[in-house]
Each structure stands twice: as C-alpha cells, then as structure tokens.
Chains A and B, each alone.
Chain A
Amino acid sequence: MPSRRRTLLKVIILGDSGVGKTSLMNQYVNKKFSNQYKATIGADFLTKEVQFEDRLFTLQIWDTAGQERFQSLGVAFYRGADCCVLVYDVNSMKSFENLNNWREEFLIQASPSDPENFPFVLIGNKVDVDGGNSRVVSEKKAKAWCASKGNIPYFETSAKEGTNVEEAFQCIAKNALKSGEEEELYLPDTIDVGTSNQQRSTGCEC
C-alpha cells in the first residue's frame, strides 16, 4: 500500500468551559490574548510547525468548538489524537475535580491502543488572576493528581500573560510526536477531496 510519512500530529484540548482552552491555543500559536470572554465561537483548530531534530511536523491543535459545554463532543473529535491536553482553572475547584471525568471520557471515546501510556499533559491555567490570591487548587494537589495518573507532566500557565505557555506546548509536541511514532508511522493513502474540480487534461492539447 503506498503511504506517506506521517508529519501531522493531532492534539486535543479538554476541560470545563471557561478554563481558557481557546486562549491557551491562541497564545501559543498567535501570541494573542483577548480579555473578553465569550463561550467559544469560531474556534476550530490551529496549526503550528514544530521542528524536532531535522524533521518538521505540523501540530494540529483542536479546540472543542464549545461542544463540551453540554457534554456533546462526538467520537470523531477524539479520533486519532496523539496527545490530550487537560486544562483546569487554578481558581476553580470544580474545574479541577472534573479532570477525572475528562480523562475518562477521553479514554472511552478515543480508545487508544495503550491507555496506560497514552500521553496526557495537565495545565493549570489563570495563575495570574488576582495576583494568585483567589487560587483554590494548590500546586501540590495538582501534582499529586498527576502522580496518581502515571506521572502526567504538569504546567502552570497564564494564557493572558503568556507565562509558561511555550514550555507547556513544547512538552505537548514532544509527547505527541513520541506517541505518534509508536502508534503508526505511516498513513493509509487517502484522497484529497478538498480541492475543487480537478480538470484532467486528456493528453496533447496542441
């Protein structure tokens, strides 16, 4: 079967509504932040080129497009993910407590072949809020959760100020690449439907 080398890595971001999933993506890819919160509209996926050693990869980061609000993400969203980023708001206990649900939902829906070793990365976002005074989830508590789930890498970020975002996504990319390589190096030969009518030339036109 003719195949091409796999260069696309799919990353999905999960977590409660309002924890800053879209903002984190935007900060990482576009270096932009908007203070005006609106439940995600118009966010699809963002792509960023990343280089590892001498190879170039495209990181495709999928937003939930707001479908997480009423637990209505379909199985297609989860399919083929190489890394799953879990996000909570350090100022919201509920968003931290729901991490278990998101992780389990991912494992059920995506059904990775090796669930024990599937790469998750945890991000505790909004550390900037109120100078850290409104924080309710301690770093210790978050790290303990990560340890209990097979040592998930953990980052504390501020999407608003750009703190630690680059570092978190570098780790995400590295883990996605590792899992992508173990999973399947080659993709089946699919066809490109996305281009409009391919007019075929029927030979000599002179």
Chain B
Amino acid sequence: MDEEYDVIVLGTGLKECILSGLLSVDGLKVLHMDRNDYYGGESSSLNLTQLWKRFRGSDTPQENLGASREYNVDMIPKFIMANGLLVQTLIHTDVTKYLNFKAVDGSFVYKKGKIYKVPATDVEALKSPLMGLFEKRRARKFFIYVQDYDEKDPKSHEGLDLSKVTAREIISKYGLEDDTIDFIGHALALHNDDDYLDQPAIDFVKRIKLYAESLARFQGGSPYIYPLYGLGELPQAFARLSAVYGGTYMLNKPECKVEFDGSGKAIGVTSAGETAKCKKVVCDPSYLSDKVKKVGKVTRAVCIMSHPIPDTNDAHSVQIILPQKQLGRKSDMYLFCCSYAHNVAPKGKYIAFVSAEAETDNPEEELKPGIELLGSIDEIFYHSYETYVPTNNQEEDNCFISATYDATTHFESTVVDVLDMYTKITGKTLDLSVDLSAASAAAEN
C-alpha cells in the first residue's frame, strides 16, 4: 500500500470500474479498492443467500426456490441500449470479450390498464392497436420525419431548427394526440417525466432515433440487450480490463478514508492503518458522504416469480413503461423482467422489478399499479435508496465523485456521467468511435 498512485478509485460499482479501466488503459497508475469482499458495490447482482441476508435478516431462503448460486438479482436493474453509449464503450475497450449478451425479448407500454407492444417505426405504427386509424397515419408521418432526420443534412430538417423548436412544437406540427405523445415521449424517447416537452426537440428526436437504431441492431423484439448472469458481470469485466492494464485490486478493505492536506486537496487513502498516496481520488458517494447532497429517492420491488409477466407473449425478458400520466404521477414507473434464459435464476424462475422515483414514503402502495401487472408472486422484497450528486469542486480537492444510479431504465445517463468524469479527471474527451484493440494491434505491426 505504501506506493504512490496517480489515481485511487474507491468502490467497484459500474461507473468506478469503467473509469478505472479507462484510466489504466491511458497508462495511469491506478489502485482500486472496495470495502466489500465482492465487486459491484450498489450495482452488484446478489445470489439468493445474499438477498435474504440483505432484506430478510437471515441467510436461509426456503429450498423450493432452487439453488442460491443460480440467482443473480440486480440491485440496479437496467437494460442496455443495443446502439447506446455503454455498448460503444464496451466495443471501444474490447471488454465484450469477457461477456455474453442476449437480446431482450420485448418492449411494452402501459395505457389505460392494458399493456401494448411499443411501435418504433412507421411500419409498426400502422399496425399498432395503440392508436386509432387517423392517428396511426399521423404517427407514421412523424416516424418517417424522425427516421429521415439527419443532423448534417439540412434538407431532412423540413425547415425546422431542432435546437430552437421545442419537442411540444414538433409534436403539434404532426397533430399527435396526448396518448400518442405519452408513449413516444416515455416508451421510445425514454423521458422519465414531461420536462422534455418544453426543451429543444433535438434531444427528443435523437432519443427516438437511438431507440429505432437499437431495435434494428440485433433484430430482437426490443432495442435492449442484457448480459448472461446479470449486470454484476459488467463492473467485473471493466475491473479485469483495468487489471490487465496494470491496475491494482484490493477488495475487502475496511474504512477507506480519504486523506487531505492543509489546503483541502486529497493526497491519499487510509485503510486499516496503512496509507496509499495519490494525486486524485475517484469514488462513489458513499466514500465521501460530506461532499454530496441528496437529490431524490428510488423505490423498487424485487419479485421472484414462476411465470413470465402476463400479456407479454410469454417473453422471458421484457421492459414495460408505465408513463406518469397514466398513473397520475410526476414521473414514470417501469417493470423489468429477466429469467433463467439470461442465467439470472434457476430453470422456471423469473425475476421482475418494479421501479420508480419515490414520490411517497409508502413504496408498497406507490408501486401497486406495477406489481398488479405481474400476476402471482413467489417472493417480494421492497428496497429504496437515496440518490446523491457531488457538491464539491474537483479543482479544489482532487476528488471526483460519481452520482448515484438514477431511476432510468437503461444506461445512457450512467455512461454520460462516466464520460463527463473522465474528461474532468484527464482533461481529455473520450472518442468512443475508436476501437482500442484494433488500434493497439495496428501499433504492434
């Protein structure tokens, strides 16, 4: 421990592990520690015994649920956009070689008590029972506009400057009904609330394009992919990248106290009486709790079931968005389900999650509309956590703190935070279009 490092990373959550990997690849000397004896921190996947320990205060789950080790229950369930930033990061770093992915079977949206497949293209819009005859045609025209929209080609803009026009204005140009706006904004553009309506439409249009491009990528029934054995594999894969490039790993390190000099700059980390020196500290909010502030709370139900979610064509893996308006809420609720097909449960078992930004102090009542869609449930756990964002100035203290994982259904905001932190730490912008393994192979030749 008595060495000096460029960066000490605390916590092995996904964000910290991606950063650790990227920084080691850059040639920085990285020490990565975690107070737990396992990888993943808040973004780990638990087996049955760990789940019982955390939520039931015992370590003996009943036997009829199957082998503990066959469960990988995500603590931060999210799907991966097939054409999104996380996939670009995985390819850029070649970390895909450590992982196996399968497509997610279905993407659905909730409307007036029923669930429908999400239409994402002009062709699907025409077939969708979500809309009436005339609305289908209007929606089709809107989808064609979005598909053809190319930022670099003014001809495709139809005279609209999307950096000035709001999403609301674009939608009204196509005369779309409120229910249509609801599913486009929430189930396709994946906005968690309605704030986007009064913002420039460019982000809205890009998000719909991302959805459609992701859907086309692997020809699955959804735009999402998900790793075998659960999301806990992701931080471990990036940690291995870091280790392969020289990063030092120490799990099970108690305390991990950041040390500061007289001017308030981080200079090292102490654990069990030993101090490792460093120039910069990267960590999750739990390691520097006096430099973060609470911004919200995520509430979640974790359910073990013996059947797929009803009315999803028996999909083994599925996402269902319940737009806020449909439930009279301020933000969306979403369902996420995976099964033994993704090796997260023993044969015949399904893991379903109901998640939302907490708006009350009663998760059971609040999540009811989502839980009611699940049918019979073998076991249910409720789980809430507070979300934090950093309040420090990293130029003054050399501390780079990630934000807590938000309630969004996928990883785009996670990777945006990582890329932003990477730029703050290194002063460089990461070009994800470069394939690192190809680049290093070329350098060797």
CB-CB contacts below 8 Å: A57-95 with B: 65-67, 69-72, 74-77, 79
From A77, A188, A197, A198, contact of B240 by CB (8 A):
A77
CB-CB contacts below 8 Å: B215-265 with A: 216-218, 220, 225, 228-229, 232-233, 236-237, 239-240, 243-246, 248-252
Flag if B245 contacts A42 (CB, 8 Å): yes
Determine which residue in A66, A67, A189, A190 has the highest number of CB atoms from chain B within 10 A of its CB, and name it. A67
B39 adjacent to chain A (CB < 8 Å): yes
Residues A67 and B240 in contact in the complex (CB < 8 Å), given A188-B228, A190-B100, A193-B96: yes
Q: B87 — nearest CB in chain A belongs to which residue?
A: A193
Cα A188 to Cα B225 with chains together (Å): 14
CB-CB contacts below 8 Å: B246-305 with A: 246, 248-252
Residues A67 and B243 in contact in the complex (CB < 8 Å), given A74-B38, A190-B228: yes
Flag if B248 contacts A69 (CB, 8 Å): yes
Flag if B69 contacts A42 (CB, 8 Å): no
Q: B235 — nearest CB in chain A belongs to which residue?
A: A74
CB distance from B319 to the nearest CB of A (A): 17
Flag if B98 contacts A200 (CB, 8 Å): no
Q: A1 — nearest CB in chain B belongs to which residue?
A: B341
Contact size class for B? Answer: 35 or more
Flag if B102 contacts A190 (CB, 8 Å): yes
Residues A193 and B248 in contact in the complex (CB < 8 Å), given A67-B240, A200-B216: no
Flag if B101 contacts A190 (CB, 8 Å): yes
B152 adjacent to chain A (CB < 8 Å): no
B94 adjacent to chain A (CB < 8 Å): yes
Flag if A72 contacts B217 (CB, 8 Å): no
Cα A43 to Cα B98 with chains together (Å): 14
Flag if A76 contacts B233 (CB, 8 Å): yes
From A41, A67, A193, contact of B225 by CB (8 A):
A193
Cα A67 to Cα B94 with chains together (Å): 19
A194 adjacent to chain B (CB < 8 Å): yes
Question: Which residues does chain A contribute within 8 Å of B90, judged by CB atoms?
Answer: 193
Q: B250 — nearest CB in chain A belongs to which residue?
A: A70
Q: A63 — nearest CB in chain B belongs to which residue?
A: B244
Question: Which residues does chain A contribute within 8 Å of B39, judged by CB atoms?
Answer: 74-76
Number of A-B pairs, beta carbon distance below 8 Å: 84
Cα A42 to Cα B444 with chains together (Å): 14
A179 adjacent to chain B (CB < 8 Å): no
Determine which residue in B217, B228, B243, B245 has the highest number of CB atoms from chain A within 10 A of its CB, and name it. B243
A204 adjacent to chain B (CB < 8 Å): no
CB distance from A80 to the nearest CB of B (A): 9
CB distance from A10 to the nearest CB of B (A): 11
Question: Which residues does chain A contribute within 8 Å of B101, judged by CB atoms?
Answer: 190-191, 193
Cα A75 to Cα B70 with chains together (Å): 13
Number of interface residues of A (CB under 8 A): 28
Flag if A79 contacts B251 (CB, 8 Å): no
A181 adjacent to chain B (CB < 8 Å): no
From B216, B237, B251, contact of A72 by CB (8 A):
B251
Q: A44 — nearest CB in chain B belongs to which residue?
A: B244
Question: Which residues does chain B contribute within 8 Å of A76, judged by CB atoms?
Answer: 39, 98, 229, 232-233, 236-237, 240
B103 adjacent to chain A (CB < 8 Å): yes
Cα A65 to Cα B90 with chains together (Å): 19
Flag if B246 contacts A191 (CB, 8 Å): no
B173 adjacent to chain A (CB < 8 Å): no
Flag if B250 contacts A41 (CB, 8 Å): no
Flag if B102 contacts A189 (CB, 8 Å): yes
Q: A202 — nearest CB in chain B belongs to which residue?
A: B216
Flag if B236 contacts A41 (CB, 8 Å): no
B85 adjacent to chain A (CB < 8 Å): no
Cα A194 to Cα B435 with chains together (Å): 10
CB distance from B76 to the nearest CB of A (A): 17
Chain A positions within 8 Å of B, measured between CB atoms, are 41-44, 65-67, 69-72, 74-77, 79, 111, 188-191, 193-198, 200
Can you list 23 pairs linking A and B with CB atoms under 8 Å apart? A41-B245, A42-B245, A65-B243, A65-B244, A67-B239, A67-B243, A67-B249, A70-B248, A72-B250, A74-B240, A76-B98, A76-B237, A190-B228, A191-B103, A191-B225, A193-B96, A193-B99, A194-B91, A194-B97, A195-B91, A196-B91, A197-B83, A200-B216
Chain B positions within 8 Å of A, measured between CB atoms, are 38-39, 69, 83, 87, 90-91, 94, 96-103, 216-218, 220, 225, 228-229, 232-233, 236-237, 239-240, 243-246, 248-252, 341, 435
User: Told that A41-B246, A75-B232 touch, could you supply 5 new A-B pairs with CB distance under 8 A?
Assistant: A66-B243, A71-B251, A72-B251, A75-B38, A188-B341
